[in-house]
Amino acid sequence: MSLVTRCPGCGTAFRVQSEQLAAHSGAVRCGKCGDMFNGVAALVEEGDERLALDPSPQLGLFDPSRRPVQPAPADLPLAPFLEEDAPPARWRQGLWLLLTLAAFALLCAQLYQARTEATVLLPALRPTLESACRFAGCTVPLARRPELIRVISDDMYDDPARQVYVLHALLRNLGQFPQQYPEIELTLTDAGKPVTRRVLQPAEYLEPRAAPRLIANGIEAGGEEPLRVYLDARGLRASGYELCIFPNDCVKKSKR
């Protein structure tokens, strides 16, 4: 039912519904002076107040023949608590969407730059990043932490029949994540002085047929990998060698 309540502060009258008053425990804020008052206690009789009020405009939604007529005085203002919040401006919605997309793009760029480091901190993240990179046309390089790779055993001997020195060694990855095979520095010495030095790439010390697969997969977390290297001994006189994970410090060894 349509009722009329009047603000006791400024005398402004408002058209309200009884259901709306009941839903708000009768509380009303005046749209003119801003005072809060009890709308039930301030109800007035339309006849006594001689107010020219039209039927509720909501009737027009159900019966087009009962459209309200513009009153002689202007329509009474609607109580503020009955007003619906205006939708946000479209430019603000567009701006928020643009900022959200920009933030997402920046996050993706940062993750792309740090994708290898992310797999070091969270190894379980690698399959997800690899799947995303397959879609985006990129790759997730293996980590490279040579300080976490150790030569845990090694030996070198002469093979006079083939005129070569043969080096055997065993590498171990101490990291908790797969990583690239390291470069290995091998120095032949005689009387403690270097005779020749080489930095061996993974393809030079891994078994040739398995090298492409091993290099692609890397040395697994906690994994070990044997290696064998043949060095041409013709014209060389060596009594010892030094072997290290490049560029870490080397530990001198005596050739057997």
- Residue partners of 11: CB distance under 8 A and separation at least 6: none
User: Quick one: pLDDT at residue 2?
Assistant: 67
Residue with tokens 């205006």: 86
Residues 28 and 46 placed together within one structural domain of the fold: yes
∠ CA 140-223-212 to the nearest 5 degrees? 55
Q: What stretches of 57-163 adopt beta strand conformation (E)?
A: 149-159
- The whole-number pLDDT of residue 130 equals 73
Give the range of the structural domain holding residue 68, as residue numbers without chain letter: 2-82
Domain presence at residue 242: yes
Q: Is residue 184 part of a domain?
A: yes
Angle at 118 between CA 116 and CA 123, to 5 degrees: 95
The torsion angle over the Cα atoms of residues 152, 158, 162 and 167, rounded to 10 degrees, is 10
Task: Evaluate whether residue 104 is within a structural domain.
Answer: yes
**pLDDT at 229 (0 to 100):** 92
Is 219 inside a domain boundary? yes
Task: Tell me which of 107, 136, 165 is where a domain ends.
Answer: 136
Is residue 14 domain-resident? yes
The whole-angstrom separation of Cα 124 and Cα 139 is 16
Single pTM value for the model: 0.52
| Alpha carbons 201 and 128: distance in angstroms, whole number | 30
Q: What is the pLDDT of residue 170?
A: 95
Instruction: Return the CATH number at 211.
Output: 2.60.40.770
User: Both 161 and 249 in a single domain?
Assistant: yes
- Cα 30 versus chain centre, distance: 49
Q: Are residues 78 and 94 in the same domain?
A: no
Q: What distance in Å separates the CA atoms of residue 179 and residue 136, rounded to the nearest whole number?
A: 23
Is residue 100 domain-shared with residue 165, that is, in the same domain? Answer: no
How many domains does the chain fold into?
A: 3
Per-residue pLDDT of the chain (256 residues; tens, 9 = 90+): 667 888 888 888 877 777 777 777 778 788 778 788 887 787 787 654 454 444 433 333 333 444 444 444 545 555 555 555 555 678 888 888 888 888 877 776 666 666 677 777 777 777 787 787 777 778 888 888 899 999 999 999 989 888 999 999 999 999 988 999 999 999 999 988 999 999 999 999 999 999 999 999 999 999 999 999 998 888 888 889 999 998 865 654 544 4
Is residue 141 included in any domain, yes or no? no
Domain co-membership, 95 together with 76:
no
Q: Let me know whether 163 and 240 are in one domain.
A: yes
In a domain, residue 178? The reply is: yes
